[in-house]
Chain A
Amino acid sequence: MAELATVCPFCGCGCGLYLHVIDDVVVGVSPSRAHPISQGRLCVKGWHAHEMVDNPQRLTHPLVRRGDELVEASWEEAVEVAANGLRKVADSAGAQAIGVLGSARCTNEANYVLVRFARGTLGTPSIDCSQRIHSVPEVALNAGNSRPGLDTGQIADLDESDLILLVGSDPTEEHPAVAARVYRARQRGARVISVSTRTHPLAALADVHLPVRPGGELKLLGSILHVLLVEQGMAGDADVSGLPELRASVADLPPEETQAATSVPAEAVREAALLYASSKRATVVYSTGLALSLHASAAAQSLENLAALGASGAGPKATVLGLLSRNNLQGCRDMGVAPDLLPGYTALGDDAAVEKLERAWRCELNRETGLASWQMMGKARAMYIMGDDITRTMPGAGVAREALASLDFLVVQDIFMSPAAAMADVVLPAAAFAEQDGTWTNLERRVQRIHRAVSPPGEAREDWRIVAGVSGAMGKPISYEDAQQIFEEIKDLLPVYAGVFYPPLAVNGGIRWPTAQPRDAGGAPAAREKIGVAAPPEDALKESAAGAETSDEYPLLMAADPTLRPWDGEVTVCHTLTAAGEFTVMDQDYPDGMLCLNPEDAKRFEVRGGRPARVVSATGEGQMQVRVTDEVPRGIALVPYNQAARSGPMEVSSQPVSGRPVLAPTPISVGPVQ
């Protein structure tokens, strides 16, 4: 039995684990104690990571559609069919009509090659990754004050903090390795403040918990800033750009004023603010609960403001840790899997940088801004999907399925027969994480090596090789020796990865970018250039004040909770052998959606736990199964985001600036099913 060090393929934490291999089969997993993230721990997903590798349901052969059926084909044939199909759509509808989706599950190298394939070979600017809809740094990016990804903290900051502020984050569900640090920090005396609608376990244990009404987050953070800046006079005359504007913007937001919009008692807000002010070193953690709200950018900016104040010497020193949900969501973005960027955050208009890429790739690149994943729905005529769970991530009932069904041509590259793969014209079997070399970049920009421990099943191949193969069949060969060679090119071409080297196995925990000195594992990110704060846009504050109004007709406010059961139904965890049950119960017990209600509301609306209830909103109606729990405040109904995204009564809205679709809090009425 050999232990091979690699990285967990699930959440953005990037825990170090060992795969146990006997005779080219992975038979188990152990945590790494020496690894800076896992420190000897794994969550339920990590402990079962091996089960999705040697799994009888893996895709093993290329498949090509014949009528209603997908039939086995040779690689040559499948690649040929894929190339011809894509070419045909490009000829008839133009290259822009092809949408390409990369994946936060796949390596940096695969995503990098995919960008080259999309913008160079196909000539389409529409490349994206639908998991990005759940991403955080973009929020920070949209907030406008920071260079991409550069000012997030790192997980180890939690070990040094005496105060942890959790905003819209339930790390016990989404980021277990972060939760582990919070529990340990608590144990050694650190204080915890929680801001989220649901009283999740860490909220229940928090020193102060502010159960905010969905949509009230921005106002609540504004009130916290009001207490700090106005009431406490924090930052007095500190030389921070934007400070007067910020102070003015929160002048009218004493907690008493916002109480109606946030449902949080003013005393609690004040208590939280004072507790924050009294700390020496704070870590501010936020996640999808904030990132998927309507005014996420402005709210994230409020948190950035706290860090900026700290950095200027006013208020506690603080770092902001925006948590990404997927193992390589950060890397996916770093590699330029986005319609408005090129690899390494190269701007489309930066001619010199684009030409550098063109020279390296020996092709011309499409320099336009393409369609985002949600814009592709219904607009793209053909799609090439590499490991993207679009049917699960795209908000709106049936939106993705309908869009895929209406395509002229669909190629899906994956390790399992995902719902998208089942609809494809060509299915290309890919190697799993334990079967390919490469790198992933975790939520703190830690570039880590993953390692080929066993051979792929059947004829499955590494992701980047598949993409390169299709490109070759379209007359634009992409040739690399191996993943390392691709990485060397990334490092040479992309300033953000400069100094990062292809980590050999012995470098446990990888290397964080940007790093001034190569070989300085875990090197600190470059310091912030200039300290500044920014006031939230006025209309954001106003709008969020309005919020979604309940009425006698629709007395409850239903909101999608992305921190609740975030992994249920995900294609890889559902294919573990022993843990699968943990990730499929939602569909068994709550097939139409788990409607979490406070006991008092359940009584008032005469619905019972485990039983279906009728849910009616202005947009539609449907049925969901009720779970009665005092984790949910009165007047609110929470539904796991993944289920809400498929639910008729849920309203889909879009974030300002980014245009990302979000599920808006929706007033509903609830009653028993007759």
Chain B
Amino acid sequence: MTARMLPKNRIEEFVGRLLEQAEVVAPRRVEVGDVFYGAVASAEEVAWDYGHAVEPLKRFLLPQRETMLRYSTGDKVRVEAELDEQERVFLGIRCCDVTGIGVLDAMFGGDTPDPYYMSRRERSTVIALTCLQAPDETCFCVCCDAGPFLAKGYDQQWTSLPEGMLVEVGSERGEALVRSNDDLFDEASVDQVAARYRLAREAEQTFGDFKSYIAGAMSKLSMNEVDPKVWEQAALRCMECGGCTYLCPTCSCFTVTDRMEDSSGVRERHWDACLYSCYAREASGHNPRPEREDRLRARFFHKISYQWAQRNGRQACVGCGRCVVGCMAWAHMPAITEGIRRGVMT
């Protein structure tokens, strides 16, 4: 590993330089106390000591609502696509959220890349910030190989040490950022690198009760061996709010709608949730997943089956714990995987 140090007193300068070239999106505290990732105007605004952001970064790559096309329907139809070409640096992002971006990359890349997503993604630099202790009692990234420290998936990974940020470089893009700001970075000492590994081990010990038995659930789901009772019981809990999917760093279902204003139209896409009863409903009224248990089963199959893990490069849960917070009832990832393991929902 090549590691560098960004001394404490140079962080502000570094962020200042980032701001000259790009929008910097970092954790920041909003008025009533919640933390969101959002554009900052200076290093001062960054909530370095934050626990968890209310939402993952998804909104910046796949907005809840975005314009895909604009068209005019006069004599001759004219259609234009609109791409977001803003350069962005995602700074101080939690490891689970960084891992989540990797899953989205697999979903929106591939042999038919999604230009709206890719346009943003190709213009973004991801700087992860490791967790020195579990940010929240609901975190379970340790069960998902997605934190509290990462081995890959970032452009840079920062670990907060008393003297400054230990910076690991994970990509050419991350390296370029060091190179072009050479004057700000020092070489990291052996002790500093050793501290990073010690901190990582210590951090893992701080994770609490919210274990998620992903591996066991994965094998049962993939082999179609989950007791149907589990889904029926889960259906008594799920309220179809869509929150787990909207808060999930890797859920990316969307729907498309057209809207007209005079003779110009806009085609937009909006987040959608596979748990909604009309998600798969066809124009004829036929619904291939009429019951809530059918939809729950489909969702968790997509999230953590071996089949989809193969297609996406990894299973799609990163252990951020947001579904635990956001679930109206008790049908979030750890509750379901526990239910699958035991064959009954508690």
Where the two chains meet, the residues of A that have a C-beta atom closer than 8 Å to any C-beta of B are 1-3, 5, 16, 18, 20, 27-35, 39-44, 46-47, 50-51, 56, 172, 176-177, 179-180, 183-184, 186-187, 201, 204-205, 505-506, 508, 577-579, 581-582, 585, 588-589
B96–chain A nearest beta-carbon distance, Å: 16
What 1/0 mask marks residues of chain B from 259 to 286 whose CB sits below 8 Å from any chain A CB?
Answer: 1110000001011100011100100010
Known contacts A29-B64, A179-B328, A183-B329; A581/B281 CB under 8 A = yes
Q: Are A183 and B237 in contact (CB under 8 A)?
A: yes
Bound together, the chains give a CA A440 to CA B239 distance in angstroms of 25
Known: A34-B34, A577-B268, A579-B276; 10 extra A-B contacts, CB below 8 A, are A1-B59, A16-B32, A27-B65, A31-B54, A31-B243, A33-B54, A51-B270, A56-B259, A177-B328, A588-B285
Q: Are B276 and A34 in contact (CB under 8 A)?
A: no
Contacts A/B (CB < 8 Å), 18 sampled: A27-B65, A31-B243, A32-B54, A34-B34, A41-B327, A42-B326, A43-B241, A47-B243, A50-B64, A56-B259, A183-B237, A201-B235, A201-B237, A577-B270, A578-B255, A579-B276, A581-B276, A585-B278
Q: Which of A5, A179, A578 contacts B30 (CB 8 A)?
A: A5
List 9 A-B pairs, minimum CB-CB distance, nearest first. Answer: A581-B278, A28-B64, A508-B32, A34-B33, A40-B325, A183-B329, A201-B236, A43-B241, A56-B259
Q: Which of A29, A35, A180 contacts B32 (CB 8 A)?
A: A35
A66–chain B nearest beta-carbon distance, Å: 22
Bound together, the chains give a CA A43 to CA B328 distance in angstroms of 7
Q: Are B330 and A183 in contact (CB under 8 A)?
A: yes
Point out the residues of chain B lying under 8 angstroms from A44, CB to CB.
239-242, 276
Point out the residues of chain B lying under 8 angstroms from A29, CB to CB.
64
Q: Are A47 and B246 in contact (CB under 8 A)?
A: yes
Bound together, the chains give a CA A56 to CA B69 distance in angstroms of 16
Q: Are B271 and A578 in contact (CB under 8 A)?
A: yes
Point out the residues of chain B lying under 8 angstroms from A33, CB to CB.
34, 54, 325
Bound together, the chains give a CA A186 to CA B255 distance in angstroms of 35
Bound together, the chains give a CA A172 to CA B34 distance in angstroms of 26
Q: Are A505 and B237 in contact (CB under 8 A)?
A: no
Bound together, the chains give a CA A39 to CA B322 distance in angstroms of 12
Known contacts A42-B243, A582-B278; A179/B329 CB under 8 A = yes
The interface centre, meaning the residue of A2, A46, A176 with most chain B CB atoms within 10 A of its CB, is A176
CB closest residue in chain B, given A581: B278
Bound together, the chains give a CA A177 to CA B54 distance in angstroms of 18
Q: Are A34 and B32 in contact (CB under 8 A)?
A: yes
Known contacts A27-B64, A41-B241, A184-B330; A18/B30 CB under 8 A = yes
What 1/0 mask marks residues of chain B from 306 to 346 whose CB sits below 8 Å from any chain A CB?
Answer: 00000000000000000001111110000000000000001
Point out the residues of chain A lying under 8 angstroms from B325, CB to CB.
33, 39-41
Bound together, the chains give a CA A1 to CA B28 distance in angstroms of 13
Q: Are B241 and A577 in contact (CB under 8 A)?
A: no
Q: Are B36 and A3 in contact (CB under 8 A)?
A: yes
Known contacts A18-B34, A180-B329; A172/B270 CB under 8 A = no
Q: In B186-230, which residues have CB < 8 Å from any A CB?
A: none
Q: In B37-85, which residues have CB < 8 Å from any A CB?
A: 38-39, 54-55, 59, 63-66
B90–chain A nearest beta-carbon distance, Å: 14
Bound together, the chains give a CA A585 to CA B279 distance in angstroms of 12
CB closest residue in chain B, given A1: B38
Bound together, the chains give a CA A582 to CA B38 distance in angstroms of 31
Point out the residues of chain A lying under 8 angstroms from B59, CB to CB.
1, 20, 28
Point out the residues of chain A lying under 8 angstroms from B172, CB to CB.
none
Bound together, the chains give a CA A2 to CA B41 distance in angstroms of 13
Point out the residues of chain A lying under 8 angstroms from B65, CB to CB.
27-28, 50-51
B20 part of interface (Cβ distance < 8 Å)? no
A440–chain B nearest beta-carbon distance, Å: 17
Known contacts A18-B30, A47-B246, A56-B261; A30/B36 CB under 8 A = yes
Bound together, the chains give a CA A184 to CA B38 distance in angstroms of 31
Bound together, the chains give a CA A325 to CA B31 distance in angstroms of 29
Bound together, the chains give a CA A41 to CA B244 distance in angstroms of 9
The interface centre, meaning the residue of B31, B36, B260, B328 with most chain A CB atoms within 10 A of its CB, is B328
B257 part of interface (Cβ distance < 8 Å)? yes
CB closest residue in chain B, given A45: B241
The interface centre, meaning the residue of B257, B326, B327 with most chain A CB atoms within 10 A of its CB, is B326
Q: Are B326 and A40 in contact (CB under 8 A)?
A: yes
Point out the residues of chain A lying under 8 angstroms from B271, CB to CB.
578
CB closest residue in chain A, given B271: A578
CB closest residue in chain B, given A610: B285
Point out the residues of chain A lying under 8 angstroms from B327, CB to CB.
41
A181–chain B nearest beta-carbon distance, Å: 10
Bound together, the chains give a CA A23 to CA B260 distance in angstroms of 19
Q: Are A506 and B34 in contact (CB under 8 A)?
A: no
Point out the residues of chain B lying under 8 angstroms from A180, CB to CB.
328-329
Bound together, the chains give a CA A184 to CA B324 distance in angstroms of 11
Bound together, the chains give a CA A1 to CA B38 distance in angstroms of 7
Known contacts A41-B243, A578-B271; A56/B54 CB under 8 A = no
Bound together, the chains give a CA A187 to CA B237 distance in angstroms of 11
Bound together, the chains give a CA A16 to CA B63 distance in angstroms of 21
Q: In B138-159, which residues have CB < 8 Å from any A CB?
A: none
Bound together, the chains give a CA A33 to CA B32 distance in angstroms of 10
Q: Which of A20, A176, A508 contacts B64 (CB 8 A)?
A: A20
Bound together, the chains give a CA A2 to CA B235 distance in angstroms of 36
Known contacts A43-B241, A179-B239, A201-B236; A3/B330 CB under 8 A = no
Q: Which of B31, B38, B261, B270 contacts A578 (CB 8 A)?
A: B270
What 1/0 mask marks residues of chain B from 1 to 44 whose CB sits below 8 Å from any chain A CB?
Answer: 00000000000000000000000000000111110101100000
CB closest residue in chain A, given B23: A1
Known contacts A28-B59, A30-B54; A582/B277 CB under 8 A = yes
A670–chain B nearest beta-carbon distance, Å: 23
CB closest residue in chain A, given B33: A34
Bound together, the chains give a CA A16 to CA B31 distance in angstroms of 13
Point out the residues of chain B lying under 8 angstroms from A579, CB to CB.
242, 276
Known contacts A1-B38, A33-B34, A34-B32; A172/B239 CB under 8 A = yes
Q: Are A508 and B33 in contact (CB under 8 A)?
A: yes
Point out the residues of chain B lying under 8 angstroms from A43, CB to CB.
239, 241, 243, 328
Bound together, the chains give a CA A4 to CA B259 distance in angstroms of 25
Point out the residues of chain A lying under 8 angstroms from B239, CB to CB.
43-44, 172, 176, 179
Bound together, the chains give a CA A33 to CA B136 distance in angstroms of 12
Point out the residues of chain B lying under 8 angstroms from A51, CB to CB.
65, 270
Point out the residues of chain B lying under 8 angstroms from A505, CB to CB.
31-32
CB closest residue in chain B, given A584: B278
Point out the residues of chain A lying under 8 angstroms from B31, CB to CB.
5, 505-506
Known contacts A28-B65, A589-B285; A47/B328 CB under 8 A = no
Point out the residues of chain A lying under 8 angstroms from B33, CB to CB.
34, 508
Q: Which of B235, B237, B326 contacts A31 (CB 8 A)?
A: B326
Bound together, the chains give a CA A82 to CA B271 distance in angstroms of 41
Bound together, the chains give a CA A50 to CA B325 distance in angstroms of 21
Bound together, the chains give a CA A187 to CA B346 distance in angstroms of 8
Point out the residues of chain A lying under 8 angstroms from B34, CB to CB.
18, 32-34
Bound together, the chains give a CA A32 to CA B241 distance in angstroms of 15
B150–chain A nearest beta-carbon distance, Å: 25
Point out the residues of chain A lying under 8 angstroms from B246, CB to CB.
47
Bound together, the chains give a CA A180 to CA B242 distance in angstroms of 14
Point out the residues of chain A lying under 8 angstroms from B259, CB to CB.
56
Bound together, the chains give a CA A192 to CA B31 distance in angstroms of 37
The interface centre, meaning the residue of A3, A39, A177 with most chain B CB atoms within 10 A of its CB, is A3
Point out the residues of chain A lying under 8 angstroms from B36, CB to CB.
3, 18, 30
Known contacts A42-B241, A47-B241; A578/B272 CB under 8 A = yes
Known contacts A3-B30, A508-B32, A581-B278; A40/B39 CB under 8 A = no
B243–chain A nearest beta-carbon distance, Å: 6
Q: Which of A20, A176, A585 contacts B241 (CB 8 A)?
A: A176
CB closest residue in chain B, given A29: B64
A175–chain B nearest beta-carbon distance, Å: 11
Q: Are A5 and B329 in contact (CB under 8 A)?
A: no
B172–chain A nearest beta-carbon distance, Å: 29
